Chains A and B, each alone.
Chain A
Amino acid sequence: MYKQVLQKKVKKIGIGFNIIAALVLLLIGTNSVLVSYIKYGNEAIKQLNDIISVATRLENDKIKIEQVINSFQEIIGGYGVKFYGIVSLYRTYDEISRTIKGFSLDFVPAKSENYIIKLPITLKGKIKNKELILAMTEYLQTHNYPFVTISSIMLKMGEKDLDIVMSGEIISYDLKSIL
């Protein structure tokens, strides 16, 4: 009879052990899922952190870009924003034509490339002495947006006069289109 009682106890413990074994398996499975999730989560955090680092860097870069653009705008004195189009170049052309009398001024159509508008000019004429060239170049370079650059000066000495050919460009920036 005691054998039956002991066997019953053994059976009870056996059932208990099976339940515990199932519980252990369940816990192992749950733990594996949790560990995988933590691993995945940490990986995701790392990637998200990388994105945040990139975003922070890009934000700094954006600030630097804006500083560069603002500095340039400050240099050109806000001219770019007030740009009135290609007409303003021809106004400068007309003014030069009116101011430097006795010189011929070629008319060539203005060209626009990368928001830079250029109107090539060639001044031809005669002068008595070469000091006048300095006065002419200084006058041309007093223009500020559109401004004038001189790319070549050619002089030929005649008996009494100097033949002069001065080439350059009236230049303007179309910053309005960029902004």
Chain B
Amino acid sequence: MIYVLQKETHFDVLIPRGKGSLSFQKYKASDYNELNNVLSKIKEKHVAVLGRFPSFLNELITIPKVKENLLQKLILREAKNRFSNIKAPILTHKKLTDITKEGVTFNQVFLCVIETEETDEILSAIVSAGKECVYISILSLVLSQIIKGYLESENCFVACDLPHEKVFMLFSPNDLSLVRIIPSETKGFDLIDYENINQTISFCRESLRIFPSKVLFYTPAKDTVDFSKSIIPSELLTIGSGKDELEEDYIEKTILEFLDKKFKELTWTNFLPSAYLTAKKKLKVYSGVFLFGSLVAAVMFYYVFTNGIKAKQTMEEVGLFERRVQAMLPVFEEYKKAKDRLDKFLPVIDFHNRILSARQVYPVMDSVLNFFDNKYRISEVDAKREDAGITVRIKGTVVAEGIGFILQDFDKLIEALSKNPGFKIIQSSIDVKTKNFSIVIQASN
């Protein structure tokens, strides 16, 4: 975090030397341009500003106890009424302890306001330097939060001696109820300061109806404090060990240390304009969208890259396959030629196989004739090769006399022929008068 402290005549830019370190690197900038230049050279991105806003006003208001959402509206309406002289107010508020008046409970709200245009130049210097302002407030408000931790549970009036100003704060008992800043070039408290203190205490008593029990003086010039000048009892306030209080920038160091630790708890003291917050939000959304788009582009680029490599590999592979197919094209021609030759050869081969496997006519005829002994006289034999096999037609006569013997010998012949597994009797007949017979036998292939 970069801390920018607006002084009377210049800006102090402070950067912690390490995380949580009390040691700061300090730069000075005489105007907004120089501030912009100084910030531009720093790596750190976030900036917290403690500025001087002359328009700063504060007021303690009481509002009837209502629901939270209605309370916000009432606070806004009350603020507009009370700070009507501020053209474009930046409003912050803190809800304090409820009070009861005549049996009715009221909300106590501490309102703070500054003029928006008073933040413009410093915000421009920060934004132009590419930094992000996360906190903008006044030194007195932060200091009040430090002092609050050192107070006892009673109404107190605190008078702080800051460089170039005296700051009066009213705590009731631990809630900040009033802040009054009076420019002052003297170190320590003088008569005018005591007068102002006493007047402010009177104002608290009469207008706010808060009665501080003591005045606490917080100053490095302790010897200038005169307790007798105060209208109520007074004491010196020491923060921490108090040993560094004599150093010139002891208050700054204390405040920055506190801000560094408690930054998140001080949201109600933050005067960042809503226009800046909206623009920052818009910028963040746009940046997010841009980042997302870039991420998508990166992913798409990865896909295009990998698919490009794949496409190149595919292209090479297709080329390789095309060359292989090109080289194999003669195979189709050669196969066609071989097939044509085979088509011509096949009838020849088929014919050759049929001729080789077919039974020979003469051996079949001879084996058939072997069944005919001297009981039969053959007159005619016709053996012919047909599709189913070899058909043998035999004509002849039976030698025997007498119908009984003729038929007996013929039957014997037929029975013998039938028993031969290679023969099939297709037709057989005998004329017993002439003794002539006719037999047709088929020998299968």
Contacts and interface: CB of A to CB of B under 8 A. Distances in A.
A2 B322 CA distance: 66
A3 B121 CA distance: 11
A153 B393 CA distance: 11
A49 B308 CA distance: 23
A155 B280 CA distance: 127
A28 B121 CA distance: 45
A38 interface: yes
B311 interface: yes
A24 interface: yes
Interface of A: 1-3, 5-7, 9-10, 13-14, 16-17, 20-21, 23-24, 27-28, 30-31, 34-35, 37-38, 41-42, 44-45, 48-49, 51-52, 55-56, 58-59, 61-62, 65-66, 68-69, 72, 75-76, 114-116, 130, 133-134, 137, 141, 149-157, 171, 173, 175, 178-179
Interface in B105-125: 120-121, 123-124
Q: Which of A7, A75, A178 has the most chain B CB within a 10 Å cutoff?
A: A178
B339 A2 contact: no
B86 interface: no
A76 to B, nearest CB: 7
A38 B307 contact: yes
A68 B349 contact: yes
Contacts of A49: 321
A75 B289 CA distance: 86
B348 A48 contact: no
A116 B348 contact: yes
A27 B121 CA distance: 44
Closest 10 CB pairs of A and B: A41-B314, A27-B300, A48-B321, A114-B347, A152-B384, A20-B293, A1-B124, A34-B307, A55-B328, A2-B124
Contact of A157 (B275, B379, B382): B379
A10 B283 contact: yes
A20 B294 CA distance: 6
A62 B338 contact: yes
B366 interface: yes
Contact of A134 (B300, B366, B384): B366
B347 A157 contact: no
A41 B311 contact: yes
B307 A35 contact: yes
A158 to B, nearest CB: 9
Nearest to B384: A152
Contact of B381 (A24, A61, A155): A155
13 contacts: A2-B124, A6-B282, A10-B282, A21-B293, A34-B307, A41-B318, A55-B325, A65-B338, A68-B342, A114-B351, A152-B383, A153-B361, A179-B341
Contacts of A21: 293
Given A24-B296, A52-B324, A173 B348 contact: yes
B88 interface: no
Contact of B360 (A52, A137, A173): A137
Contact of B347 (A24, A38, A116): A116
A48 B120 CA distance: 73
B304 A31 contact: yes
Given A6-B279, A173-B348, A69 B332 contact: no
B128 A5 contact: yes
Nearest to B317: A45
Interface in B329-346: 331-332, 334-335, 338-339, 341-342, 344-345
B208 interface: no
Given A13-B286, A37-B311, A69 B341 contact: yes
Contacts of B342: 65, 68-69
Contact of A23 (B297, B335, B361): B297
Contacts of A55: 325, 328, 331-332
Given A31-B300, A41-B318, A150 B362 contact: yes
Given A55-B325, A72-B349, A152-B385, A41 B317 contact: yes
B341 A13 contact: no
B325 to A, nearest CB: 5
B351 A116 contact: yes
A96 B128 CA distance: 125
Given A21-B293, A48-B322, A38 B314 contact: yes
B361 A6 contact: no
Interface string B283-295: 1001101100110
A17 B289 CA distance: 8
Nearest to B365: A153
B126 interface: yes
A30 B124 CA distance: 43
Contacts of B301: 27
Contact of B123 (A2, A51, A130): A2
A14 to B, nearest CB: 7
A75 B345 CA distance: 13
Given A41-B315, A66-B338, A149-B355, A115 B344 contact: yes
Contacts of B385: 150-152
